[in-house]
Amino acid sequence: MDETDVKILKALTVDARLSSRQIARQCDISIGTVLSRIRKMENEGIIKAYSALLDHEKLGYELTVVSEITVSKGRLLEMESEIARFPNVCSVYDVTGELDAIIVAKFRNREELSKFTKRLLALPYVERTNTHVVLTTIKEDFRIA
């Protein structure tokens, strides 16, 4: 990746709906360069997908939780893959330290959260969970400027 790729990525990160023409104008490069660079970054997996940033609270997801998970018997990757398929899960992180994984998930209400927590604890190799309910979201934006 060079400076041109970084400029294109920054433009797409701010607004993924920009046309190639708009990106070219903004980055002071040709449309052909924009198209070929984007295609290359997509093929290399640098650009995985395009999506919209949503306001989850306006969509009814009132609760955000961060769950710490401890897994036994060397089944961490298996459990993380299983948890990643749960519909409310936004992120699964394999981490260092006293616990094994951190899960970020969103729920409409306490009942959904309760079912999720019980489902986690029912997984065969999950030894322990410690769930934190987020009180206020100060920043939630995975775009890197």
pLDDT of residue 12: 94
- Tell me: domain 63-133, CATH 3.30.70.920, correct? yes
Instruction: Decide: helix, strand or coil at residue 42.
Output: helix
* CATH number for the domain running over 3-43: 1.10.10
**Is the pTM higher than 0.85?**
no
Domain ranges of the chain: 3-43, 63-133
Q: Is the pLDDT of residue 141 over 90?
A: no
Both tokens of residue 118?
Answer: 């019980």
SS3 at position 41:
helix
Amino acid at the residue 46 = I
CA 79 to chain centre: 18
3-class SS at 121?
Answer: helix
